[in-house]
Chain A
Amino acid sequence: MCRAWLVAAVLSSAILPAQAQPAKAFQFVLQNGLQVVVVPDHRAPVVTQMVAFKVGAVDDPPGVSGLAHFFEHMMFRGTRAVPGTGYSQTMARNGGDDNAFTTHDYTVFYDQIAKDKLRLAAHLEADRMANLDLSDAAVSAERDVVLEERRLHVDSDPEALTEEQAEAALYLSHPYGRPVIGWPEEIRHIGRAEAEDFYKRHYAPNNAILVVAGDVTPEEVRAAAEAEYGALQAHELGARVDYAQPKRLGETRLIVNRKDAKVPLFLRLYRVESYAEAAPGEAEALEVLARLLGGDATSALYRRLVVEKRIATDVSVEYDGYARDAGEFSISATPRPGVALDAIERAIDEVLNSYVHHAPSKPDLARAKAQLVAGATFRRDSQFEMASAYARALAVGLTVFDVQQWPARIQNVRPGDVQSAAASGLDRVESATAYLLPKP
C-alpha cells in the first residue's frame, strides 16, 4: 500500500527533495459492519476518535430540509444511560473536547481526549449510536438553537445567502441544492417523530466509519472497538434515494440586491465531477486548476484582477470534490470600489479562456503542485486532519488507498490534464453566476 507512494515521492524529488514517510493507516471491519481505520501517531498521549455516518442532508425527507443537521445536534441530547447533556459533561470532566458537523453526504462526530480515556470515549459514542432518548422539550429547544445557528451563519451574512441561492439554482432538483442547515420554514417542521424516524433509518454500525488517530496501536483500537461497538446490532437501513442530476440546458444567472450588503461580490459555481465520480486523475486536475486560478497571491486570477488590472481586491477559487454525486468548483471575487461586476466577470472569463487554450507553464504547475503536496504533509501533522481525510473519503465511497495516493496523484497531473479540466470541467451550461449588489 505504501510502496507506490514512495516510488512517486522519489520520482518527484526534483520538486520536493525530502518527502517524509506517509502516515500508516490500518483498516478492519467489525462483524456488525462498522468500518474501522486506525492512524497511529505517538507524539502526544492523545487520541482523536471520529465516527462518520453515511447520512447527510441529501437524506432529508421532502419538506423537512435540515433534518440530518438537526439530528446531529440531537445526538448531544442524551441517552437512557447518559441523560440530558451528560455526553459533553462527561467528556469535559475527563478532559475531552467534542463536536460534530454535517455535510450533504455524511455526518461526523469527533472527540479528542487523553489516550487512556479512549474506552470511555468509545463507550459514550457507541451508547448514543443505539440508545438515544429524545424528549419533546429537548427537540423544541434545539430547533430554536438551529434557527439561531442559521441566523448567525446565513441569514445575517449576505454573501452566505447569495451562495445558498446560487447552489439552489445550480443543482436543479438534486438535494445538493438544499442547504444543509435547511430552509427556515422547513426547520420549523421538525419534530420528535421525524427525528426518531431518521435515527432508526440511518444510525447503525453498518452505516458508519470509525477512525481513531493518535497514540494507539491497531490492536488497542480493535480491542476497544470490539468491546464498545461490537455488541451494537446491524440493522436494515433506510434506502438512500438515487436522485437524478438533471442535465442542465443553460447557465443560471441571478442578481441578489441586499440592503445589508455593503460590498458587492461576484460568485460563480460550476457543477463538476467529484472524486467519487471522476475518471482517474480528473478530480486531481480540477484540484490543481483551482490552485492555479485562485489558490493564493501567485495565482492567475489574483495576479490579473488584483495586481495587474487593479479591478478587484480579492479572488478565491475552490474545488470541493469530496461528494458522492457532483463536486463543486467555485470562483468568487470582490471588486475594487467603483468597479462593476460585469468588468470583473469579463476579466475572469478571459483568464479561464486562456486556460482552455493553453496548458499551464511548467513553473506555474510545479508551484501549484508543491503547495498542494506540502499541504498534505502539513495536514499529516494533525490528528484531526488525518482522521477527517479518511472519514470523508470512506464516507463518499473512496478508499484508504485513495487517501494515501493523493499526493502522488497530484504529482502525476500533466499540463494537458489541467487544460482539459478547464475546457470540459468548467462548462458555462453547468454553472450558476450570482452578483451580490448592495441596495442603497
Chain B
Amino acid sequence: MIRWLAAVGFALMLAAPAGAVNVKTLNAVPGAPVWFAEDHNVGLIALSASFPAGSSYDPAGKSGLAALAAALMDEGAGPLASDAFQSALASKGIRLEVECDRDYTVVSLVTLSATAKEAFRLLSLALSKPRFDPETAARVKIAMLQDMQRDREDPSVVAEKGFFSLYFGPYTYGRPVGGDPAGLSSVSAQELHAFASTHWVRGGLKIAAAGDASPAAMTALIRSAFANLPAAAPPLPPPPLRAGAPGLHILPMDTPQPSVFFGAKGLLRSDRDYLAALIANYILGGGDASRLTADLREQRGLTYDVSTGLAPLRRAGLIVGTVATRPDAVRRTITLIRTTMSRFATEGPTEQELSDAKQYLNGSFPLSFTSDQDTAARLGEFQREGLPLEFLSRRADLINMVSMADVRRAARTLFDPSKLTIVVAGSLPSTNTEPADSP
C-alpha cells in the first residue's frame, strides 16, 4: 500500500461510487497513508488513526499490554496528569476514544473545527509523551481486571473468548484482547513506555479523516500529531500456530440462554476470492435476509439473532458466527446451522440470491458515508484491510464481476460444517428433546 501511495502522490481526487464521498490522499506523514474527505457542512472534524498495536503484539506473559496502553492513552501526557488531560479534552467538548483489537489500536477523535488545533495538540501529547503514571495505571488495571471478572457473567463473551483460545491456542490471536489476570497485573510502566514508543509509530500507521478543514489545514493538523512519531514499524507477530479445533466444545455455565460461537478457516483480505466470500457470507448469514435468519429465527423462533461474518485478521482469515437460544434448543439449533450451511455449501446460491446480494452490497455502500464520523471510521476500516483508495471507486464493479462459479467455490470451501470449531457457553440437557418454550 505504501508503494501505491507513493505512486499516486499528492491530493489525487477519486470519485467514489454513486457520489458517495470524495476522498483525497494527503501527503502529510511520511510512510503513512492519509485519506481525507473534506466537508464544511457541520463544523466538526473526525479522525480515525490505526496503529500496529493490537493485542497480538503482546509479548509472552504480558497478555493485556496493548490494551492497557490503549486504555491509558487519554490518562495523562506531557505536563498534564490524568485529570488535567481529561479536563483539557472535556472543556472543549473533544471526544477521544481508543480501542484495541487483535491487530490494531484505533484512535478516534471528534472535535468541533473551532477546537481542532487544541484537539490535535492533545492527541500529539498523548501519542508522543504518554505518562503512564503508576497510580493511574494501577487504577485502570484494577478496572480491566474487574471487566474480566464481569465477562465471566456473559455467555456470549465466554463463548467468544473460548472460541479464540481453542481455535488459535495460547499465542497471538488465541489470547483475549483485554489480556489475562497474570499478564495484565505484571505489566510495568517501563513496559508501557517501551510498547508505546515501538507501536504508536508512523511505521504501519494509517490515518483517515473527514470534516471541516481545507486539505492544507488538515495536513497541518495531522502533521502536528503524527509526523514526529518514530518511523520504524514493529515486526509483525508470528502467524498463528494452530488453526481450528473442529467439533463441539462445551464451557459449562448456569445461564438461561447458552451462547454459541462457531467458526472455521476463512480468507485473508488479500485473497482473490474475498469478495466472492463476502457475497456467500451475506447469503448464508450476513444480513437480515439470510438463509440462517429465515430458517432459525423467522420460521422456528429459535433465536433473536443468528449471524455469520468474515474476520480477515492480518495473519489469519476466519469465518465466524454466533447464535444464542434456550438450553433445551441448543442441540437442535446447532444441527440446523450445520444443515443449512451444508446445503448452501453443496448447492450454492440461487441466481436470485446472487443478484440480491450484489444489489444489497452495492446499493447499501453509500449508507456508510452519510456523516463525517462514519466516513472517517469506514475509511479507517478499508485502510486496516490493506485496501488502496481506488477500491472505493472500483468496489461496485469488482462485486458485479464475481461469478456464480466464484461464489459456489467460496461457499464450498468456507462453509463446510465438518470443519467448524463450535463453542457453547452454557449447560445443555443431555437428552435431545426440545419442547417449544411457549404453549
Contacts and interface: CB of A to CB of B under 8 A. Distances in A.
Interface extent on A, as a size class? Answer: 35 or more
Interface string B364-407: 11110111111000000000000000000000000000000000
Interface in B280-302: 287-289, 294, 297-302
Interface stretch (B18-26, B225-233, B309-317): B18-26
A7 interface: no
A114 interface: yes
Interface string B139-164: 10011011001101111000000000
B43 A19 contact: yes
Nearest to B426: A156
Interface in A150-181: 151-152, 155-158
Contact of A41 (B19, B41, B366, B373): B41
B250 interface: no
B50 interface: no
A214 B41 CA distance: 13
A96 B364 contact: yes
Contacts of A250: none
Contact of A18 (B112, B155, B257, B304): B112
A155 B3 CA distance: 52
A157 B302 contact: no
Interface stretch (A196-204, A233-241, A371-379): A371-379
A152 B20 contact: no
A44 interface: yes
Contact of A17 (B39, B114, B362): B114
B93 interface: yes
A59 to B, nearest CB: 23
Contacts of A306: 139
B367 A97 contact: yes
A245 interface: no
A89 B303 CA distance: 19
Contacts of B82: 297, 307
Most buried by B among A48, A146, A156: A156
B370 A43 contact: yes
A440 interface: no
Interface stretch (A259-267, A268-276, A411-419): A259-267
A20 B43 contact: yes
Contact of B254 (A141, A260, A367): A260
A314 interface: yes
Nearest to A303: B83
Contact of B438 (A93, A188, A378): A188
Given A141-B299, A145-B297, A373-B93, A151 B112 contact: no
Nearest to A86: B289
Given A144-B302, A370-B91, A261 B153 contact: yes
B364 A95 contact: yes
Interface string B70-109: 0000000000001100110011111100000000000000
B20 to A, nearest CB: 6
A89 B15 CA distance: 29
Nearest to B352: A93
B326 interface: yes
Contact of A156 (B42, B257, B298, B303): B257
B191 interface: no
B254 A259 contact: yes
A336 interface: yes
B324 interface: yes
A211 to B, nearest CB: 15
Given A366-B91, A383-B371, A147 B437 contact: yes
Contact of A367 (B87, B145, B325, B370): B87
A353 interface: no
B371 A381 contact: yes
Nearest to A89: B289
Contact of A141 (B46, B155, B298, B305): B298
B146 A263 contact: yes
A306 B146 CA distance: 14
A149 B367 CA distance: 27
Contacts of B437: 144, 147
Given A96-B363, A112-B370, A307-B139, A44 B20 contact: yes
Nearest to B355: A93
Nearest to A148: B304
B256 interface: yes
Interface in B317-347: 324-326
Nearest to A84: B298
Contacts of A128: none
Interface in A2-46: 16-21, 41, 43-46
Most buried by B among A263, A306, A378: A378
B255 A156 contact: yes
Nearest to B75: A297
Contacts of A95: 359-360, 362-365, 367
A85 B293 CA distance: 11
B134 interface: no
A262 B20 contact: no
Contact of B154 (A16, A45, A157, A303): A157
A374 B112 contact: yes
Nearest to A261: B153
A380 B146 contact: no
B185 interface: no
A314 B150 CA distance: 13
B360 A85 contact: no
Contacts of A85: 289, 294, 298
B436 interface: yes
Contacts of A363: 91
Contact of A151 (B300, B324, B364): B324
A337 B44 CA distance: 40
B213 interface: no
A46 B370 CA distance: 7
Contacts of A253: none
Given A19-B43, A144-B436, A378-B44, A44 B93 contact: no
B105 to A, nearest CB: 19
A46 B365 CA distance: 10
Given A152-B257, A314-B143, A92 B90 contact: no
Interface string B31-64: 0000000010111101000000000000000000
A133 interface: no
Contact of B372 (A46, A140, A381, A383): A381
A9 to B, nearest CB: 11
A81 to B, nearest CB: 18
Given A20-B42, A148-B326, 16 more contacts: A44-B370, A85-B298, A92-B287, A93-B289, A95-B365, A96-B364, A114-B363, A141-B298, A143-B301, A148-B301, A188-B438, A313-B143, A372-B93, A374-B112, A377-B43, A382-B373
5 contacts: A156-B257, A263-B150, A337-B146, A367-B87, A370-B91
Q: Which 6 A-B pairs have the closest CB atoms?
A: A95-B363, A374-B93, A20-B43, A144-B301, A18-B114, A151-B257
Interface of A: 16-21, 41, 43-46, 48, 85, 88-89, 92-98, 112-114, 140-149, 151-152, 155-158, 188, 214, 259-263, 296-298, 303, 306-307, 310, 313-314, 334, 336-337, 363, 366-367, 370-375, 377-378, 380-383
